[in-house]
Chains A and B, each alone.
Chain A
């Protein structure tokens, strides 16, 4: 994913963020089409996920919206949305780390499974 599109990703969220109620705008953003496009871009760029697996993005985003199923705190999200230093790299890496535990990517990578899928939560 290009630097520009990562900025666009963050930009989209920043336009809706409120410093006092960050969770809701974030959830709104993770439900949006632009989030889906950007998340898929991250996965495609770094993990070479093919277009055929694009349908996995929506269930993955649903997981990111579910409390208890992701590993980052709201406070950290807020820091990213406020353009904390390193937020772009952090956000892309966050998506990759979450995808690794939300999907069977590691099993596919290890040759145990062939078809990429989002794991039941």
Chain B
């Protein structure tokens, strides 16, 4: 174990021969248009604690599914999942499909029973197995009680599943099709006396632009014409029509306010007849909010979660296996941050993100549409431009006075700094000079592999390779941040903010509103049907219900090296301080939002993408 060396100080022939062995195990797969690990190698196997957590969670999920069958009257196509000894033995004795055994796809519910008659149906027919103290296999999340306010809607964009999409609304860069400059801001609650000119001028107006989802429209052979309205895609599996929206939302900070509030939503292009709605517009406004969330969450699953964590870490893992010898200090540092990643990604590619399987049933877009869109977004994503503080600076969301109480920004900065310190300490052990970096030919080949073959844009600076210790520290910090905290921030809200469908629909099932005067029935009509709500609960409960490995815990990898271990312990202490700071911040956030932000608590951040 102690035989950790830089390649320039080691038996180079022996290392090269052993690395060639890795080359025979690891091959790229381009089935979905991105360079990904084809088959997990021995280092990529999930550890038994992961398998046990999956099994335990699925057991609990089945309990609620059985209760749904027994108590709600919903008639699914498929029979109730029950205990079955031969199938169970198969699961226990192999890696047979444990999720198909416990929580299989239930099919759809035919007829009018499938439509919610009231929002309470999303509680009563989904979160069934819970007692009066909200204990059981399906406890109701806090979100279910506060979801309907504009404040919670805004919270979703600052601390929800897709929390880094907000940008400042600037006259010079605003989307041409989303003009809110003439909005009567002063007439909105909490903005009395305010004006758009003043708010924009002071930098208090923000937006999320989901017109990027228009890129999905062209990805089907039978796609409607570019100017068709509405654009409708039928999902064969549920017999329901799913709609994709390409909306915009604007937020503003009231003068002296503690948090931003939504002020305007436009559900699609003006040329297609979409107008700007405001909070004064009753159920039409609620429908517009649902359209915005459906688009935002569609983007979350396909791009932010899958594309920019799972599938971004994958080629970095690949290059680490291919180009760094197992005795390389950077291999030693990074390998625990890839635990289970290749396995879960291959599992997703072959089981979860297939036509008409799990994810396809939940999000608005269809897989055939997703892959080209996802590919473009992932390949166009600049590794360096998205270091969180730089990203927030570029987007104009880094100012705590103009955009206060932004939990993701605040907590991610603390975590980033802690990782950066740890990585700086660790790099200083192994690289005493810039020359050590330049001479490390494995490290140089590793970075170039990720940039050129793994297609991670801007992984290398101009000129390629790793250009110094600071460069290496940045690269490693972003890699660890993406594998651990960033994935945690976008994965675990699935089980908290997204699991209650009215709070965060993943797709729309009605046309975006046109005109005014809509009713509660119109609003319910745009929300997913109950079979989808149940399937959403089941899948997202699993994806967010398995939290394995821990940031700062390297499974004893540094026990052999006292200096590394001392720095690792310092990292753990720093993470403990961050934990305390976030807990204190949450006391205040609870008073502001009625919710706290737990997804970046270090005690909840896994080391790797493994679910």
Contact = CB atoms under 8 A, between A and B. Distances in A.
Interface of A: 46-47, 71-73, 86, 89-90, 92-94, 96-97, 100-101, 104-107, 109-110, 112-113, 119
Contact of A97 (B47, B52, B83, B95): B83
A47 B92 contact: yes
B83 A90 contact: yes
Given A104-B48, A110-B51, A71 B83 contact: no
B85 A96 contact: yes
| Chain B contact surface mostly | helix
Interface stretch (B53-61, B217-225, B534-542, B600-608): B53-61
Contacts of A119: 52
A109 B52 contact: no
Interface in B54-96: 55-56, 59-60, 63, 82-85, 88-89, 92-93, 95
A104 B63 CA distance: 22
A112 B50 CA distance: 12
Nearest to B89: A46
A113 B93 CA distance: 14
| Chain A contact surface mostly | helix
Interface string B539-580: 000000000000000000000000000000000000000000
Most buried by A among B55, B88, B95: B88
Contacts of A86: 82
Given A71-B59, A96-B88, 4 more contacts: A47-B92, A72-B63, A100-B55, A107-B52
Contacts of A72: 63
Contacts of A101: 52, 55-56, 59
B52 A106 contact: yes
Contacts of B93: 109
Contact of A93 (B56, B60, B85, B95): B85
Nearest to B52: A106
A90 B89 CA distance: 13
A20 B369 CA distance: 57
Given A71-B59, A71-B63, A97-B88, A112 B48 contact: yes
A89 B59 contact: no
Contacts of A113: 48
Interface in B166-189: none
Contacts of B95: 110
A112 B52 CA distance: 12
Contacts of B60: 71
Contacts of B55: 100-101, 106
B85 A107 contact: no
7 closest cross-chain pairs (CB), A and B: A107-B48, A93-B83, A112-B48, A101-B56, A106-B51, A71-B59, A93-B85
Contacts of A92: 85
Nearest to B57: A101
A94 to B, nearest CB: 7
Interface of B: 47-48, 51-52, 55-56, 59-60, 63, 82-85, 88-89, 92-93, 95
A79 B55 CA distance: 24
B84 to A, nearest CB: 7
5 contacts: A89-B84, A93-B83, A104-B52, A106-B92, A112-B47
B92 A94 contact: no
A47 B89 CA distance: 8
Most buried by A among B48, B59, B82, B93: B48
A65 B170 CA distance: 63
Nearest to A42: B85
Contacts of B83: 89-90, 93-94, 97
B281 to A, nearest CB: 46
A45 B163 CA distance: 51
B48 A97 contact: no
A43 to B, nearest CB: 11
A105 to B, nearest CB: 7
A37 to B, nearest CB: 19
Contacts of B89: 46-47, 96
A48 to B, nearest CB: 9
A46 B89 CA distance: 7
A109 B47 CA distance: 12
Nearest to B136: A73
A46 B85 contact: yes
A93 B95 CA distance: 18
A22 B79 CA distance: 29
B135 to A, nearest CB: 9
Given A89-B85, A90-B83, A97-B83, A107 B92 contact: no
Contacts of A47: 89, 92
Contacts of B51: 106-107, 110
Contacts of A94: 83
A15 B56 CA distance: 32
B530 to A, nearest CB: 23
Nearest to B91: A100
B84 A93 contact: yes
A77 to B, nearest CB: 13
A44 to B, nearest CB: 13
A96 B92 contact: yes
Contacts of B59: 71, 97, 101
A21 B181 CA distance: 69
A104 B47 CA distance: 12
A113 B48 CA distance: 9
B56 A105 contact: no
Contacts of B84: 89, 93
